[in-house]
Structure 1
Amino acid sequence: MLLFSRFFPKRFRLLWYFVGTFIVLSTIIRLVFTFWMLSEVDTSFFKIGNTLLIGFLFDIGTVSFFAVPYALYLLIFPKKWYGSLFDRIVTWFAYTLGIIIFLFSFFAEITFWEEFKNRFNFIAVDYLIYTYEVVKNINESYPIPLLVGGILLLTAFLLYRTKRKGVLRKTFNNENTSKQKLLPTLFFIAIAAIFALFVKNKDAEQFENRYNNEIAKTGIYSFFAAFQNNELSFTDFYKTLPVKDAFAEVNSEFKKRGDSILFPEKELIFRNISNIDSLPELKPNVIFICVESLSAKFLGSFGNKENITPTLDSLANHSLFFNNLFANGTRTVRGMEAITLSIPPTPGRSIVKRENNQQLFTIGEVFKQKGYNRNFFYGGDGYFDNMNSFFGGNGFNIVDRGRGFLLDKSITTTRTNIEDEEVTFENAWGIADEDIYNKVIKVADEAHSAGKPFFDFVMTTSNHRPYTYPEGKIDIPSGSGRSGAVKYTDYAISQFLKKAQQKEWYKNTVIIIMADHCASSAGRQELDVKNYHIPGLMLNLPNISPEKVDKMASQIDIFPTLFSLLNWNYDSNLYGTDILKMKPEEERAFVGTYRKLGLLKGNDEVMVLGDQRASNSYKWNRETNELQPLKEDEVFLKEIISNYQTADYLFSNGGLKLKSLGLEN
């Protein structure tokens, strides 16, 4: 007790109690997550013990940042004013505010974990920017009055318990001197300084099991770490090759496929893709439907027994259906990046959300060169996730709800509002899929009347929490869960196709349907490969018979495949290639998170690059979804590094810009 009194004299008793309260609450949350994922967590004595120990250390570091300001206050506040009205107001206010922040963050962590199976990361930081959508979504998904009431009741209980234990009395009634208060103050400053200068959030990741790594972290610390570091330098954090060697490796693969490199002396991949058979080019309209969170596992075509995708399952038999297709990332903006830029995922934030992401070479540029109008449809407000700025800045006309910020002032594009009278149902994320499809048909009618081919990029929203949609459309009540949202999404597609087929323009329109990402990407493995598997299909292709394509590919390959099927001769800055022409050894899919960059090969071998210049090789077991370690293959390593390194280099050094490629803006 004497040692304790020296470290924490009576004046610091409330601060000590505050620290202890945080550690207890944080440990409870850590145990909740452990039991939540009990079947996935490595619960061997050594591993779970280390998980909790690391978590405890991060808790101490985190709470020290909160403790330092009050410790400094206690240090400099004169002894003669201990317990004064001012002292009591400051102390009660600081303590209450701290408790509320802790409780709010813990409740928020539970909802975030439910959605992403992660501690706070840069996604949570992004959500702070879009408070309208996020708050509305939370309000529609959870009983907010109950949660807020619960936080306030717990706060009141903790305040009452603190008062009953006499902690405040000891804090206000003592004779501690400045000398006695110096040691505990320096203790908290030292801990905070160590964590600020030397400890990184990723230092908690000491396990092969991803869930153990996440549970070992502390949510508040993870949040501020993500706020500070949401972009990663590839050259600083990942294994690299000499730049010229990396481009030589990538371009050699393009040459093998018959592409002509246009600037072989430069660090570029710009090339010409020719129609070697000299067939006439086809120019149908193209409507691309990017479906929110549509995992392959939801479809009956992939074994689902719920019968929630009857339309898509039927279309699988009447289209070019890609059943070995993988999303490149884990968020909508990652899907958009992969589809429009046809590029492997770069570390950190998606290019859609970065600066200098306008006037790039996208699939829209290929359509532009062929004389197409280009439109981006979104049922919500396109300022969310920077979508309007990205698509508008790359030549697309915008069709959205028209609220919020428009675009960068330097961007000149057409923006069309979806008016209230065109909306039958709307939730936090946007209007019902049926409503956005009706708008697509209306705009298509106008384009057809003008006699110009159109390319429409349509982003849906209905298959997203809070999973609400118009009642009476399907046999699952609105808001009851993901299965209902998937079934409504499928139903809306069926209604769209029925209406579109009655239009004159339909017979000359290709429909492409593909997910932006899976409903969940989390798993205990370094990369959960199964949770990147998505459906993709092309419907109404001219002169193409229905076929189920087994070749492995990813989102970046869909539009290069379409361009090939249309016999287009075009210049390309796209990494994707024609799936149908892939040789077995060329089959591959890029899959990644904002930190882990993976390459999956057609033989189910996987290599993953980590941000500590790490690389790991595995064999993916499709049945168990396990990754079995393999000896590293130098050829495979060179392939994955060259693709990811050149992609990052091109964006960072302007190699994706139209101007750099000699194209007019």
Structure 2
Amino acid sequence: MQTLKRVTGVMFPVILFSLLALCLLSLSRLLLTIWQADHITGWQDWLMILAQGVRIDISTLCWLLILPSLLLALMPVTGVLGRCWLFVFRIWLVAGLWVLVYMELATPTFITEYNLRPNRLFIEYLVYPKEVFSMLWVGYKAELALGLLGTLLTLVLGWKLSGYAVRDLTAPKWYWRPVLALAVVALGVMGARSTFQHRPLNPAMVAFSTDPLLNDLTLNSAYSVIFAAKNMASEKNAEEFYGQMPLEEIIQTVRQASGREAEFISDEIPTLNTISPTFSGKKNLVILLQESLGARFVGGLGGLPLTPNLDQLMQEGWNFTQVYATGTRSVRGIEAMTTGFTPTPSRAVVKLSKSQTGFYTIADLLARQGYHTQFIYGGESHFDNMKSFFLGNGFEVIVDLPDFVNPKFVGSWGASDQDLYTMADLQFTKLHQSGQPFFSLVFTSSNHSPYEFPDGEIELYEQPEHTRNNAVKYSDKALGEFFAKAKQSDYWKDTVFIVIADHDARAEGNVPVPVDRFHIPALILGSDIQPRQDDRLASNIDMAPTLLSLIGADNTSPMIGHDLTKPLAPEFQRAMMQFDKNFGYLTRDKLVVLQPGKAPMGYQYDFDSRQLSVTEVSELESKRALAHALLGGKLYREGRYKLPDASEHQLANAD
């Protein structure tokens, strides 16, 4: 060590901490890869993950240390000024090391939940410390303890090591200092960029597999989160990921793909179209949005035997067997169900700045037609910016946890599903008595980590008690109790209900878009809804137009979803899925996947075996997928996904 210190001189602390960080990051990557070894297909995967991982780590360390290294080359290391500078320098080193270590310690838990390294979801959850800390305290005490222990060890040992590293440093002669500074900057920039190409190193450059987790293992978690933060700050649009297409061509392609090109009526709002309702009259609408209820947990869809109540209800209503979510987060499900908006690689519109007012929602549409509109949630409605988005776009009333009186059970995410449905029944009864039609979005939360629910309510499916499968079973019981009560209510005969998931619990797989992990239940119920099993391929963006048709609402809106009360030929059936940075466009015979900086990929999807096999993709199929991938971002940025004002509406109808 003394020899290294003598040879490296004033740069010894930087080199020492860099070598230590490289060893720790490589060890973490190796252990994570061993843990996820079932994703590995051959020795080439090991080589790419470990070798390219070092490249990512070097780039990370160069970004972290280039500024203090430059100052170290120029600043004195003796005297009062030198001691003050070295104290600040030590803080920088130790803090940087702690961030790297802590993020790696947090990674296994994040992979368990999301099958990816910490990314933008990690940042988004940090905005809600109360809910997140409550969740961690209840369900992840061991992980919290490990993080605290790792933090203490890193800070204590790192501080001691930094003291040794800066002790008795020998600065070069003054005339060598500018040379050393230039060398530090040159090497630092080269290491940070890690390439002579136009663009610096980024995750796409080291991506090598169709399995997203393997590509993520190549990164380190600090790099992954910082890269996500950079993207969030710039809100990159889909063109930067998938390529360019003029808006006119996008609109033409999307209209043609809808199978109802003649129904589009506006140039200012390019997707504005009118769908005549099937039902003549006016009914209430209730969306029961189920947290993380993928089809694999639903017995009636071939999943685990966890949902006997939902399975029975599927025999009583209009059951869709091939509906697919647009994303992997609740805000994406809310986006699809309330706005019919196509998914994008950006954040869901619930959280985007330009969509907080004047953005289309079915709540706004129905409020204009005399409906009372509300959102009912057992937790804090400010989570994920829901409250702001809803109140700015047509929802008149928010009912959340502070409005619940003596709830039976409150967990990390708020009141239990039973409490939620009790509140919903009270609201529906009161609204029905007022004589005003109503639209209500009811969002469950019990099926969310750490899976808390009242003791003694169900016969546990497995041990320990607080698991996802047990939470699904509890949530299903609460749903069954609600419908047993609703069928006896006065509002039942005048209301259309849909039970649908926001997304599956955990999207994972060894392909860029794991289609089977987007499969969700969707069931429409009501006194006039006849039992049927519907095997048409559909998306949750198709549900809003269908529901508006069933309640007799006038539907002139920018939604491109299909009204499934009407016939839909197989060639126009489709689903769109956003999986991190990848976009999937699924039809009856093909899945087209768009990935950043890569050519479109084609897969055959077997709906029975739920397996994908690589196939060719035509230029027309690629164009159709690209148009739908770019549509949402274009309309959002230009403020053209909205309802027309009265004069625009009259003009459109006149045309």
Q: Which letter does structure 1 place at the counterpart of 2:210?
A: E
Aligned residue number for residue 507 of structure 1: 493
Aligned residue number for residue 653 of structure 2: none
Aligned residue number for residue 475 of structure 2: 489
Q: How many residue pairs are counted as aligned between the two chains? A: 635
Change (3 A) 1:321 1:241: same
Query: Is 1:172 aligned to 2:175, yes or no?
Result: no
Aligned residue number for residue 371 of structure 2: 372
Query: Is 1:459 aligned to 2:461, yes or no?
Result: no
Structure 2 Cα separation of the partners of residues 555 and 22 of structure 1: 45
Structure 2 Cα separation of the partners of residues 449 and 515 of structure 1: 29
Aligned residue number for residue 123 of structure 2: 125
Structure 2 Cα separation of the partners of residues 80 and 225 of structure 1: 37
**Of 455, 458, 476, which residue of structure 2 is paired with 1:474?**
458
Aligned residue number for residue 322 of structure 1: 320
**Which structure 2 residues correspond to residues 512-551 of structure 1 after superposition, within 5 A?**
512-542=498-528, 544-551=529-536
Q: Where do 5+ consecutive residues of structure 2 fail to align?
A: 194-198, 651-655
Q: Is the 8 A contact 2:285 2:547 kept in 1?
A: no
Query: Is 1:572 aligned to 2:568, yes or no?
Result: no
Change (3 A) 1:609 1:498: same
Aligned residue number for residue 18 of structure 2: 19
Change (3 A) 1:183 1:491: farther
Structure 1 Cα separation of the partners of residues 505 and 346 of structure 2: 20
Following superposition, the deviation at residue 92 of structure 1 comes to 5.0
Change (3 A) 1:366 1:78: closer
Query: Is 1:193 aligned to 2:193, yes or no?
Result: no
Aligned residue number for residue 414 of structure 2: 430
Structure 2 Cα separation of the partners of residues 624 and 22 of structure 1: 45
Change (3 A) 1:185 1:133: farther
Mean alpha-carbon deviation: is it higher for 511-520 or for 235-244? 235-244
Aligned residue number for residue 216 of structure 1: 218
Query: Is 1:607 aligned to 2:602, yes or no?
Result: no
Aligned residue number for residue 342 of structure 1: 340
Mean alpha-carbon deviation: is it higher for 208-217 or for 286-295? 208-217
**Of 602, 605, 608, which residue of structure 2 is paired with 1:617?**
602
Q: Is the 8 A contact 1:105 1:220 kept in 2?
A: yes
When normalised by structure 1's length, the TM-score is 0.88
Q: Is the 8 A contact 1:120 1:223 kept in 2?
A: yes
When normalised by structure 2's length, the TM-score is 0.89
Q: Is the 8 A contact 2:366 2:553 kept in 1?
A: no
Query: Is 1:260 aligned to 2:263, yes or no?
Result: yes
Measured against aligned partners, the alpha-carbon deviations of 1:384-437 in whole angstroms (never above 9, x if no partner) come to 1111111111111233446xxxxxxxxxxxxxx414x34222222221111111
**Of 203, 207, 210, which residue of structure 1 is paired with 2:209?**
207
Change (3 A) 1:286 1:657: closer
**Which structure 2 residues correspond to residues 18-57 of structure 1 after superposition, within 5 A?**
18-42=17-41, 44-57=42-55
Following superposition, the deviation at residue 129 of structure 1 comes to 1.6
Change (3 A) 1:541 1:586: farther
Q: Is the 8 A contact 2:282 2:437 kept in 1?
A: yes
Structure 1 Cα separation of the partners of residues 563 and 410 of structure 2: 38
Structure 2 Cα separation of the partners of residues 169 and 434 of structure 1: 59
Mean alpha-carbon deviation: is it higher for 463-472 or for 134-143? 134-143
Aligned residue number for residue 633 of structure 1: 618
Q: Which letter does structure 1 place at the counterpart of 2:531?
A: P
Change (3 A) 1:238 1:600: same
Change (3 A) 1:533 1:73: same
**Which structure 2 residues correspond to residues 347-358 of structure 1 after superposition, within 5 A?**
347-357=345-355, 358=357
Change (3 A) 1:285 1:177: same
Same amino acid, percent of matched pairs = 28
Following superposition, the deviation at residue 371 of structure 1 comes to 2.6
Measured against aligned partners, the alpha-carbon deviations of 1:35-78 in whole angstroms (never above 9, x if no partner) come to 22211233x22332122111101101112233234424432342
Structure 2 Cα separation of the partners of residues 170 and 588 of structure 1: 61
Structure 2 Cα separation of the partners of residues 184 and 519 of structure 1: 53
What secondary structure is seen at the aligned counterpart in 2 of 1:504? coil
Q: Which letter does structure 1 place at the counterpart of 2:167?
A: F
Mean alpha-carbon deviation: is it higher for 231-240 or for 627-636? 231-240
Measured against aligned partners, the alpha-carbon deviations of 1:546-604 in whole angstroms (never above 9, x if no partner) come to 1111111010011212233445553132111023521111111111124212110122x
**Of 478, 481, 484, which residue of structure 2 is paired with 1:498?**
484
Change (3 A) 1:568 1:176: closer
Change (3 A) 1:487 1:171: same
Measured against aligned partners, the alpha-carbon deviations of 1:288-320 in whole angstroms (never above 9, x if no partner) come to 110110010001113334x32111111111111
Q: Is the 8 A contact 1:68 1:185 kept in 2?
A: no
Structure 2 Cα separation of the partners of residues 188 and 209 of structure 1: 37
Q: Is the 8 A contact 2:268 2:640 kept in 1?
A: no
What secondary structure is seen at the aligned counterpart in 1 of 2:498? strand
Change (3 A) 1:238 1:99: closer
Structure 1 Cα separation of the partners of residues 92 and 245 of structure 2: 52
Following superposition, the deviation at residue 233 of structure 1 comes to 1.9
Query: Is 1:104 aligned to 2:102, yes or no?
Result: yes
Structure 1 Cα separation of the partners of residues 644 and 184 of structure 2: 53
Q: Is the 8 A contact 1:64 1:189 kept in 2?
A: no
Q: Which letter does structure 2 place at the counterpart of 1:458?
A: V
Query: Is 1:274 aligned to 2:258, yes or no?
Result: no
Aligned residue number for residue 560 of structure 1: 545
Mean alpha-carbon deviation: is it higher for 138-147 or for 92-101? 92-101
Structure 2 Cα separation of the partners of residues 506 and 626 of structure 1: 40
Q: Which letter does structure 1 place at the counterpart of 2:24?
A: L
Q: Is the 8 A contact 1:259 1:274 kept in 2?
A: no
Structure 2 Cα separation of the partners of residues 578 and 656 of structure 1: 19
Change (3 A) 1:69 1:548: same
Mean alpha-carbon deviation: is it higher for 141-150 or for 179-188? 179-188
Following superposition, the deviation at residue 628 of structure 1 comes to 2.4
Query: Is 1:655 aligned to 2:654, yes or no?
Result: no
Following superposition, the deviation at residue 284 of structure 1 comes to 2.2
Aligned residue number for residue 196 of structure 2: none
What secondary structure is seen at the aligned counterpart in 1 of 2:496? strand
Following superposition, the deviation at residue 504 of structure 1 comes to 1.3
What secondary structure is seen at the aligned counterpart in 2 of 1:323? strand
Structure 2 Cα separation of the partners of residues 491 and 209 of structure 1: 36
Structure 2 Cα separation of the partners of residues 471 and 618 of structure 1: 45
Q: Which letter does structure 2 place at the counterpart of 1:233?
A: N
Aligned-pair Cα RMSD in Å:
2.9
**Of 224, 227, 249, which residue of structure 2 is paired with 1:225?**
227
Structure 2 Cα separation of the partners of residues 656 and 334 of structure 1: 16
Mean alpha-carbon deviation: is it higher for 520-529 or for 571-580? 571-580
Aligned residue number for residue 254 of structure 2: 250
Following superposition, the deviation at residue 155 of structure 1 comes to 2.6
Mean alpha-carbon deviation: is it higher for 128-137 or for 621-630? 621-630
